[in-house]
Amino acid sequence: MSLSNLDVVELTEFRRHLHRHPEVSGQEEGTAAKVVGALVPLNPDRILTGLGGHGVAAVWEAAEPGPTVLFRSELDALPIEELSDAPHRSTVAGKGHLCGHDGHSTILLGLARLIARDRPARGRVVLLFQPAEEDGSGAAAVLADARFAEIRPDWAFSLHNMPGLPLGHAMIASGPANCASEGLRVVFRGRTAHASAPETGVSPAFALAALMPAAVATGQGGALGPGFRLVSLCHARMGEPAFGITPGEGELWLTLRTLADADMAALRDEVMGLARRLAADHGLEVEFSHHDPFAACTNDPQATEAIARAVTALGLPQGDSGWPMRASEDFGRFGGMAKSAMFLLGAGESLPALHNPDYDFPDALIAPGVAIFDRLRRDLLG
């Protein structure tokens, strides 16, 4: 069974509606309501709403016992102004679906249409529309929701569109897939002074200037293999924008990245230790806060093989390039409870990169994305 031409037309319009009305992490109320409205006519046995925030899960149960297979997409957009002349461009200032989550959720709705026409022979299928992927908080919130225990999966699958890869090519590999990452905010506090007498204050300027290269030196990237560490400078601020005052406070935002979860604590401790020593050397106080935590994402060998079999059965092109990735992905948290894997679906070699202000998910990926997911659920559940 496959999507009809009418399905593709309607799903394309649905995707473009989401694209016009982006909502960022934690604010996906309208997007979730639109998804629920599209799911209700398809008669799932249950629809859970408000899951871990604005998450939605649709569940189809079979009469015969069997495993639970979960397919996941993301609801959120990015806080980036879209620069596009597409007729379906964002209508919301400063926000845009520039990562393709509008396309991922549309693919799940296409899968829902096929499930409604041919329910699983055994087990159950769960379609999870996850909130807040972009800031790393959504998966943890969904898993912490008491109702998630009712739909806990045995298998979990996801895809991500990937510009730079040939259109429709599936890239599949087991093992490490996405890095762990977290944001570290370092705040130095001293004392302001009149600019004519800087010696009467305690400025964070020299500690801040020293921390930048020292922090980067602790994680310089390189090959994506065991022990990989990367520290990226993302934002710095010091004092007030005035010529008569020397600063009494300064802050630095860093993103820490490791290939394995186990390496993150050591990297974090090393960077924080540097900041503490610099604060002591310069007579400053220092505070830390932690943001946007992403667990490492590892593709289970059995789940990866299931994807490869489905893609092969459909006669679609495939390969294993593109893995692992420096980028982080909130899907990694599902690997702690299920055989999980994500694959990349090529969006075209000439498209803008993800998070670029002119990126737009190609509608031509809707049908192959649905086909792969549908073949997976048939292979696993009959």
pLDDT at 321: 85
Q: Which two tokens stand for residue 139?
A: 């998966």
- 268-292 pLDDT, tens digit each: 999 999 999 999 999 999 999 999 9
In this chain, the answer to whether the domains covering 5-176+297-381 and 180-294 adopt an identical fold is no
- 101-142 pLDDT, tens digit each: 999 999 999 999 999 999 999 999 999 999 999 999 999 999
Q: What is the mean pLDDT of residues 76-91?
A: 97
DSSP-derived pairing of the beta strands 122-130 and 64-74? parallel
pLDDT at 306: 98
How many other CB atoms are there within 10 angstroms of residue 30's CB atom?
14
**In the chain, where do the E strands start and end?**
46-51, 55-61, 64-74, 122-130, 155-163, 170-171, 175-178, 180-189, 193-194, 229-238, 245-246, 249-258, 285-294, 297-299, 318-319, 339-348
Q: What is the mean pLDDT of the chain?
A: 97
Q: Which three-class secondary structure state does DSSP give residue 32? A: helix
pLDDT at 58: 98
pLDDT at 326: 95
pLDDT at 305: 98
Predicted TM-score (pTM) of this structure? 0.93
| Exposed e or buried b per residue across 248-261, where buried means at least 16 C-beta atoms within 10 angstroms of its C-beta | bbbbbbbbbbbbee
Instruction: Report the alpha-carbon distance of residue 286 to residue 379 in Å, rounded.
Output: 55
Q: Which three-class secondary structure state does DSSP give residue 362? A: coil
Beta bridge pairs of residue 175:
299
Instruction: Report the alpha-carbon distance of residue 271 to residue 88 in Å, rounded.
Output: 44
Beta bridge pairs of residue 187:
251, 287
Sign of CA dihedral 241, 243, 249, 252: positive
pLDDT band at 89 (very low <50, low <70, confident <90, very high): very high
Could you say which DSSP state residue 265 is in? H
pLDDT at 107: 98
- 188-246 pLDDT, tens digit each: 999 999 999 999 999 999 999 999 999 999 999 999 999 999 999 999 999 999 999 99
DSSP string of 131-196? S-TTTT-HHHHHHHSGGGGGG--SEEEEEEEEETSPTT-EE---EEEE-EEEEEEEEEE-B-EETT
- Cβ contacts of 149 within 8 Å, gap of 6 or more: none
Q: Which two tokens stand for residue 317?
A: 């092109």
Q: Which three-class secondary structure state does DSSP give residue 197? A: coil
- 138-159 pLDDT, tens digit each: 999 999 999 999 999 999 999 9
Percentage of the chain exceeding pLDDT 70: 100
pLDDT at 170: 97
The class that CATH gives domain 180-294 is: alpha beta
Q: How far, in Å, are 20, 108, 182 from residue 14 at the CA level?
A: 10, 12, 33
Phi-psi region of 175 (alpha: psi -120 to 50; beta: other; left: phi over 0): left
Instruction: Report the alpha-carbon distance of residue 52 to residue 31 in Å, rounded.
Output: 15
pLDDT at 360: 98
Q: Which two tokens stand for residue 204?
A: 């964070």
pLDDT at 322: 84
CATH topology of domain 5-176+297-381: Aminopeptidase (3.40.630)
- 163-201 pLDDT, tens digit each: 999 999 999 999 999 999 999 999 999 999 999 999 999
For residue 166, cis peptide bond before it (omega within 30 degrees of 0): no
Domain boundaries, the chain: 5-176+297-381, 180-294
Q: Are 98 and 356 in contact (CB under 8 A)?
A: yes
Task: Look at residue 1 and tell me whether its pLDDT is greater than 90.
Answer: no
